[in-house]
Structure 1
Amino acid sequence: MEPASSNTGFFQEQPVLKNQWHDDVSLQRIARLFLPRPLLDQISPEVARLGDEVLSPQIFDWVADAERNQPYLRGGGRDAFGKPRSELVVTEGWRKLQDFGFQKGFVAVNYDSDYGPYNRLVQFIRCHLWEASCANTTCPAAMQDGAARLLQRHLADKTGLSAVERRVFQNAYDHLISRDPAKAWTSGQWMTERAGGSDVSQTETVATYDPYPASSPAPLADAAENIPLGPWSISGFKWFSSATDAQMTILLAKTDPAKGVSAFLAPMRRHNPAQGGGASELNGVTIQRLKQKLGTQSLPTAELELRGMRAWLIGQEGRGIHEIGTILTITRVHTAVASVGYLGRMLAVARAYAAVRPAGLGRGRRVLLAAHPLHMRTLATLTIDYHALMLLVYFTVSLLSHAERPQPAKADNTLKEEGETSTSSPPPPPLTPPPNLTGPLLRLLSSLHKSYACHATVPLAHACMAALGGLGYLLNEETPQVGVARLFRDACIGAIWEGTTDVLASDALRALVPRTRHGDGDGGDDVVGAVGWVVERGLRLVVGSSLSVGGSDGGWVGGAVEGVRREWMRLKGVVEGADGRMEALLPEARAVVFRLAEVLSAVLFMADAAANPGAEIEEMCRRYVVEKRFVADGGDGRKDLAMDQAIVYGAGKVPGQEAASSRL
């Protein structure tokens, strides 16, 4: 026996992360379920390369730099003589990660590529790989994406903008969708104030129409591009503003108490001719202080005082909530994808760690965690819950994708099956709703999927952290690729920003409750009917499939189909029985909305197993419907170690335990 020292004795082998496009079985199944096969084959080589790039040492060096050297205000917000000076400093790692995001087109791909009604799906599959490697740069990118979509909508209106407004909006849009880091912009989304939080009706920011005299040209936001400042002057205080280093923002302000809030576009900086050349200054913005947060610490989030910030009105006065809703639909999807992206990476780390970490199995026997029955059962359960969340989130992404681009792919980018003509397109995946149901479903799912998925991710992420023992609790800044504690802290924000769990559960319930004369629901038969279509369509895919005929043990599928249908009818009766009145249902908003999320996840789970059958997915599906109480007797299925390993790693991908055990 030799005593260990700081440099001798046992040293744990470092887990090696694999390319998640190949390693994440859930992500592979999502792509097969929601994308036509020709498109999947088309994008796979590029996505696979991206999967390698986001795990490169250079990326993690930038992550470590962004986390260690956090944003700050130079001089604490004042110059050497005490004069206020809002100069935000961000680290090189943060800037390099943003530049990488621009170059790879995580936002631009939705605007400069044409995958027809699958654009958003391709975009967010790529984002999924990036989320856990980006050090939170996807937060300003999400608002960049939302702002681009909002401006795209207004630019498509051939009569609603003046010539100068069109030039300003087009200039901003071109910057927002650029892949050139020297040109690309991110955007802020300034809504939150001290008085209101998520209730933007309490906005205390005021916009005054104060155009420049016709006798003199308007000052410029950018002299090189000859872009004028807007005719509105905005003053107020924004309490929680991320993307403080953005080049522009979309913000809410009141123009008239009787009209409610309005939406505005404002550049962050303006040309200052007094300083000569192309010098600029903040556009009426003072960074009061930066927030100190539990997580997302590399992301500059600030309190901002506005005094005479020049801006352009977007749309009509008093329609700000409608306008900002376009952005929120996008940013909520980004947030939900980020949540499952964090979880997917944490599971990847847990899998890699289990493949190299030995543990005792009793009586002096030691095996890798990948061969430990309890550890594999734990990871298998986490994997099943992860896949259920992935199904719900990416079904919502699919709805968004089809809502934005309902037309088929263009002829020059048509994806052809063998034997098809050059003008034909492959049939859509089986759970693609008809166009008349896409809008109602998106109205509900845009709130429901984020409310449920971001909330459910947190305890699952914590369990992944615990799967690494004490190593998981360490920040591991010297080895950031296995730093799951950092990912857990960042994942916690998903259930809070872009609408808290309660706010979005209430909104989803409001979308479900039919509108009546004396009620305050704003849903209708179209929303309830659309959900009914998904449930029945999904269950019909199961009946008669190999899953229904055989399945893991043959007897549970029929009971699960009836149990899911029965639970949907119960929930339907609850919302229709409210007669449009929200007061009685509001305390139960989480219970109703979360249970509906589980109904939809169960439908999607069974549809996935029916569309792409296999022993592992069938057993995962069986365990899920039993766990969520849709069927009382799901049989025993296959609960052996080999099945748990196949669920965690994928069939044929289980680490070789025999060779590993012989070395221990």
Structure 2
Amino acid sequence: MEPSSSNTGFFQQQPVLKNQFYDDVSLQRVTKLFLPSSLLGQVEPEIAQLGNDVLSPQIFDWVTDAERNLPYLRGNGRDAFGKTKSELVVTEGWRKLQDFGFEKGMVASNYDTNYGQYTRLVQFTRCHLWEASCANTLCPAAMQDGAARLLQRHLSNPDSSISPTQRRVLQNAFDHLTSRDPSKAWTSGQWMTERTGGSDVSQTETIATYDSYPSTASAPLANAQEDIPLGPWSISGFKWFSSATDSQMTILLARTSPDKGVSAFFAPMRRHVPSSSTSSPTTELNGITIQRLKSKFGTQSLPTAELQLTNTRGWLIGAEGKGIQEISTILNITRVHSTISSLGYLGRSLGVAKSFALVREIGAGRGTRLPLHKHPLHMRTLANLTVDYHAMMLLAFYTLHILGLDEHPSPSPSTSTITKTLTPPPHLLPPLLRVLSSLHKAYISKTSVPLVFACMESLGGVGYLLNSESEPINLARLFRDACVGAIWEGTTDVLSGDTLRALKHPAAGGESLAALDWVVNAALQSATTTPGVEKVREEWRGLKGRIERETQEGLLPEARDLVFRLAEVLMAALFVVDVSARPGDEVEGMCLRYMVRKGFVDASEVRGGGSAREELEMDRAIVYGAGNSKGEGVGERTGSRL
């Protein structure tokens, strides 16, 4: 016997995090279910390479730098003589990670590639892999994406009344938002929240006044090199939360008159300062003062600020008083980004947890040691986490499928399994997207948080540590960052209420219910002998009848429970399609487990169906994939040693 010391004795073997594009069983299934095989073969090499790149030591070094050296205001927002000078400083790691995202086209790929209705699915498969390695740079990218979509919609509208000058301004912004060149690419802010209310913008205190420049004077410029003028609207007010404080533009809400609703505006973040010097052009913030940076529980590398606007110049987007409709275009995109962010954190957390289970041993009594991946209780815990994760992946990717159809109404020549089975008639697409746009985020971003925590817990004490020296296993950081998903872009209660409004809308509510009815029935038609199908059908009929029968006011106190149960019905229906498309023991096992856990199948009907060893092997197949219960895989699986 020898005593241990700081450098001798037992040291835990380091787990290896594999390329998640191949190692994540759920990601593999949903890409094959939602993408045509020909398209998947076309994009697979690039996505697989991305799966390796996001696990590189360089990426994690940048993450550590971004987390350790947090953004700050130089001089606490003032110069040496006390004059206000809102100069935001971000770390090199943050800038490098943001540049990586630009170069890899995390946003641009939706605009400079054309896979038709599958473009969004391909884009968000890549975002899913990048999320847990990006140190929150995908947050400003989400708003960049939403702003690009909003501007694209206006620029492509032949009936748009925007002037030639404004069209040139918006086209210039769109080109920057969709660039892959880090020296040209922009992110965007999204300024809605004020002290009067978080997601409630009806009491907005930001005021916009039309203040056009005299025709005899040259308009001040946002960018002299590109000859881009500042807008004719003067905007003043106070914004309580602004993520993407280092962005180059923003879309914001302001009120133009007491008797109109809020309006949407585009505003450059900086403006040109005329100078006689021959040196580089000088710029300053466009009437914006960074009051202070927020100190947050998580997402600490992301600069979030309070902003004071004083004569900020901008351009009106759309009609006056229609700002909510305009901003909803952005929210449809940013909410999907929030959902994929939650699933990206959860997918990475599961990847770490199951890699750890392959190398960690525990006492099994009588002096024996047992690997965690052979421990029945531990594997049942990971299997249940995987089942919930897969269900949410199905719901998220189905929402992306509907979003892709909405953005690309012309059908693609090749079709996927989901396209053949669950593409609703065109007239049902808008009401279906309207209800899914809030439902998916309400359920997934909230439910993911305790699941990420469970993965952190599965590592024991080391999981609770902020492992910046071993950044890939820093699940404590991922947990803190994942928590915000249930808050920003609408809390769970706000989104549950929004879903209820969509379902009870006097004009469109019936169409939304009809769209959901079509989805559930079409999905369950593919079932043969899948357990729980009749109970899912019965549950849906009960939910539908209740929504039709009761008033919105009567349903509101239970809106969260109603929306969550609706999401579980949809996920059960999507599980049925998944099983029917590519049957196999592991997906059938996942489906059965889900049906039991959500009350669609009585546990007493299936308990005792197999031996303890068979149950363990099923759990390992669910976690690691069929024929891969020891962690070996098919295809390229290089990754990062943690």
Letter in 2 for 1:350: A
What's the secondary structure of 1:408's corresponding residue? coil
User: What is the aligned partner in structure 2 of residue 594 from structure 1?
Assistant: 564
Report the CA distance between 1:610 and its aligned residue: 1.0
How many Å separate the matches in 1 of 2:159 and 2:425? 30
Name the CA distance, whole Å, in 2 between partners of 1:275 and 1:567.
73
Quote the residue 1:499 is aligned against.
490
User: C-alpha deviations, 1:410-442, integer Å up to 9, x for none?
Assistant: xxxx65x9xxxxxxx999342222222211111
Unpaired segments ≥5 residues, structure 2: 633-642
For residues 589-628 of structure 1, what are the structure 2 equivalents within 5 Å? Answer: 589-628=559-598
Aligned to 1:486: 477
Q: Aligned partner of 1:428: which letter?
A: T
Q: Which residue of 2 aligns with 1:331?
A: 334
Structure 1 residue runs of 5 or longer lacking an equivalent are: 418-424, 516-521, 549-556, 658-664
- The match for 1:91 is 91
Separation (CA, whole Å) in 1 of partners of 2:176 and 2:229: 16
What residue in structure 2 maps to residue 573 of structure 1? 545
Give the residue type in structure 2 aligned to 1:96: K
Alignment-derived partner of residue 514 in structure 2: 529
Distance in 1 between residues matched to 2:478 and 2:457, nearest whole Å: 13
Aligned residue type for 1:571: L
**Cross-structure match for 1:168:** 169
Question: What amino acid is aligned across from residue 570 of structure 2 in structure 1?
Answer: L
Q: Where does residue 355 of structure 1 map in the other structure?
A: 358
Distance 1:152 1:634, change over 3 A: farther
Contact 2:342–2:482, Cα closer than 8 Å, also in 1: yes
Aligned partners of 2:417 and 2:597: how far apart in 1?
36
Q: 1:300 and 2:303 equivalent? A: yes
Q: Please report how far the alpha carbon of residue 656 of structure 1 lies from its aligned counterpart in structure 2 after TM superposition.
A: 7.6
Q: Which of 483, 499, 507 pairs up with 1:508?
A: 499
What residue identity is the alignment partner of 2:208? Answer: A
What SS does the corresponding residue of 1:293 show, helix, strand or coil? Answer: coil
623, 626, 639: which one pairs with 1:648?
623
Distance (whole Å) between structure 2 residues aligned to residue 429 and residue 132 of structure 1: 32
| 1:525 aligned counterpart, secondary structure | helix
**Aligned pair partner of 2:525 in 540, 550, 557:** 540
Matched residue type, 2:629: V
Q: Contact between 1:392 and 1:600, CA under 8 Å: does it hold in 2?
A: yes
- 1:43-442 correspondence to structure 2 within 5 Å: 43-160=43-160, 161-274=162-275, 276=277, 277-409=280-412, 428-442=419-433
C-alpha RMSD of the superposition: 1.5
Query: Deviation digits for residues 489-513 of structure 1, max 9, x if unmatched?
Result: 0000000000000000000011112
Aligned to 2:2: 2
Q: What is the DSSP-based 3-state SS (H/G/I as helix, E as strand, rest coil) of the residue aligned with 1:307?
A: strand
Residue deviations 1:329-377 (CA, integer Å, cap 9, x gap): 0000000000011000000000111111111112211021111111101
- Are positions 1:635 and 2:606 aligned together? yes
Per-residue CA shift, 1:156-211, capped at 9, x if unaligned? 12242110010000000000000000000000000000002110011000000001
Aligned-residue offset at 1:383: 0.4
Q: C-alpha distance in 1, partners of 2:470/2:523?
A: 44
CA positional deviation for 1:217: 1.0
**SS of equivalent residue, structure 1 residue 251:** strand
Cα distance between partner residues in 1 of 2:152 and 2:316: 15
Per-residue displacement from partner, 1:593-618 (whole Å, max 9, x unpaired)?
Answer: 00000000000011101111000100
Q: Is the contact made by 1:290 and 1:301 (CA closer than 8 Å) also made in structure 2?
A: yes
Contact 1:626 1:634 in 2 (8 A): no
Cα 1:181/1:70, change in 2 over 3 Å: same
2-side partners of 1:263 and 1:275: how far apart?
35
Q: Look up the match of 1:473.
A: 464
Amino acid at match of 1:316: A
Which whole-Å CA distance do the structure 2 matches of 1:163 and 1:222 have between them?
17
Shift of 1:407: 1.1
8 Å contact kept, 2:237–2:308: yes
Deviation at 1:634, TM superposition (A): 4.2
User: For the structure 1 residues 91 and 656, does the alpha-carbon distance in structure 2 shift closer, same or farther, using more than 3 Å as the test?
Assistant: closer
User: Cα gap change, 1:500/1:427 in structure 2, threshold over 3 Å: closer, same or farther?
Assistant: closer
What is the letter of the counterpart of residue 505 of structure 1?
S
Change (3 A) 1:320 1:48: same
TM-score w.r.t. the length of structure 2 is 0.95
The one of the two structures with greater contact order (alpha-carbon pairs below 8 A, sep at least 6) is 2
Q: Is the 8 A contact 2:266 2:317 kept in 1?
A: yes
Higher mean C-alpha deviation, range 353-362 or range 181-190: 353-362
Letter in 2 for 1:73: L
Give 3-state SS (helix, strand or coil) of 1:583's partner: helix
- The residue matched to 2:79 in structure 1 has which SS? coil
The residue type paired with residue 533 of structure 2 is V
Deviation string, structure 1 residues 126-160 (Cα, Å, up to 9, x no partner): 10000000000000000000000000000012242
The whole-number CA distance in structure 2 between the counterparts of 1:154 and 1:83 is 40
Once the two structures are superposed, residues 530-552 of structure 1 have per-residue CA deviations (whole angstroms, 9 ceiling, x without a partner) of 10111110000113xxxx2xxxx
SS at structure 2 position matched to 1:448: helix
How far residue 527 of structure 1 moved from its aligned partner, in angstroms, is: 0.7
> Would the aligned equivalents of 2:34 and 2:417 in 1 still touch at CA under 8 Å?
no
Whole-Å separation in 2 of the counterparts to 1:274 and 1:197: 41
Question: What is the number of equivalent residue pairs in this alignment?
Answer: 624
What secondary structure, in the 3-state scheme, does the structure 1 residue paired with 2:247 have?
Answer: coil
Q: C-alpha distance in 1, partners of 2:319/2:429? A: 26
C-alpha deviation, 1:453, in angstroms: 0.5
CA contact (8 A) 2:33 2:417 kept: no
Aligned counterparts of 1:464 and 1:69: Cα–Cα separation in 2: 27
**Partner SS, residue 18 of structure 2:** coil
| Identity rate, percent | 66
